[in-house]
Amino acid sequence: MIGIRSVATGQSSSIVTAEKSEATWGNRPMFGELSCGEVKPKSSAKPKIADALEGLTVTKVAMGIVFSVTLLRIAEDADENILDKLQ
């Protein structure tokens, strides 16, 4: 990852964001999928790129014990098209 923008750590998971990507990892997320979506496995001890967010501009991430938040900058129509696919 080039151009790291934000780093967040929770009780058992971590997120690192760069210019146009996000990597997540953690052995035992409390809830959720760490941006892995509905595919298995939902967690990993090795960093995994969040494919669903690839190409979007991630501005900041935050984590707590049972949550994670990713803030995105939607600046172009192409960004909106990627975002629409997530809904």
CA–CA gap between residue 85 and residue 12 (Å, rounded):
29
Of the listed ranges 45-54, 57-66, 74-83, the one predicted with least confidence: 74-83
Return the SS3 of 41.
coil
20-55, pLDDT tens digit by residue?
Answer: 788 888 876 555 556 555 666 666 777 888 877 887
CB of 50 closer than 8 Å to CB of 35: yes
Q: Tokens in use for 79?
A: 């960004």
CA–CA gap between residue 45 and residue 47 (Å, rounded):
7
57 against 27, higher pLDDT: 57
pTM for the whole structure: 0.69
Return the SS3 of 61.
strand
